[in-house]
Structure 1
């Protein structure tokens, strides 16, 4: 078991020091560490079980989720989102970051009304197109590698357009696009001006809509293929990039939001 894992568990016991918040359930030379962390988010109690294998943090932890409020299906949904998050993170101690992510997952998915949830569930299965803007990309190789990995994991196609404005065009299931955006906001994808790892707090969704709403004459039924990176140096080149994927209607919609 790595020293980093032991140090992390010690830190977790200090962070989650309230009554019943933290328990070290197992410490084994053969099976690794197992910790339990109990949290209450928006009135929803959640019990998280993290199994830190011997190779952790080189490999993500196994995660179990239970709750007296959430259904089994909802617990499985929380677990899957945390596993997605863990898979997207670099091989560093990550349990605290995953517990912090729980707040976002529960708030976004399980605190609305049943009617609203039902409507959103239908929308999430619909093919969707979204345009995002990023604030900066300093650690280019790391950042782009993560975006490419997430698009593949979430079965999304699109483009990363690098120029005066940094744009990400995504196409796929709305639920997967939402997950992509959540990862952007919660994973340390880049570095700030001082070289410290940072999250994409300044990401903006410029436009999103069912893909069918862009089905003008120039779009037809064609869909974006793959996830590719394109550099542009002028407005004409940016316009051409949208024409290449038959998304001039989307471009006209977001043009007022872009840097001049």
Structure 2
């Protein structure tokens, strides 16, 4: 694919044998649409199962909710990772940019797309479940603010550490990136769901908060997730013991199959 001045190089894979680079370009608008659509479906499925659970005597249960979150993240990573990198999370976008694996000039537009997708999904759920069924699917800490802050930091650190390991290191099995990331989300929801809602994602918290005008403790989910994600990716970068080139999440070989 030829270079174009109005297009950004967002995917490449490094061949360790001959050091050649395969470049694939995707227009920024396509990446933003992918982030908005992906975030919409992630929030619609994840928050939707929370609403269904609350409206039906908690028939889904916490393990069911955790499985839905893990599955939707896994499916979307495999579906859209080769287009936008499948961030769907401002904390992930900022963390990648902090170590120069993502261009800073695209960070604001990525975050806008992610928050837009989350807000639209939350609005759709509110329209679908009205009246007595209008449950708040957002994240509100049931623990103390300090506890919630630490918990969200740890689970976001864990998530970003795994993302850095399986999706940005060319020694990992790239085809399993979606499965590993989705499984990490599932585990985090099981552990932290009853205490903080297991956000790990400022957009996941902000969308429902805007639609329902519920902002209790919202600062926790901005500070802890962003700091946790940055700390997670920097920590993995420190323990990486090879000097071989790394690939971004948008450079994973598993995300490039079938592209030209």
Question: Looking at both structures, which has the greater relative contact order when contacts are Cα pairs under 8 Å and sequence separation is at least 6?
Answer: 2
Query: Which structure has the highest strand share of the two?
Result: 1
Q: TM-score range by the shorter chain?
A: under 0.3
TM-score by length of 1: 0.24
Query: Which structure has the highest helix share of the two?
Result: 2
Max Rg structure = 1
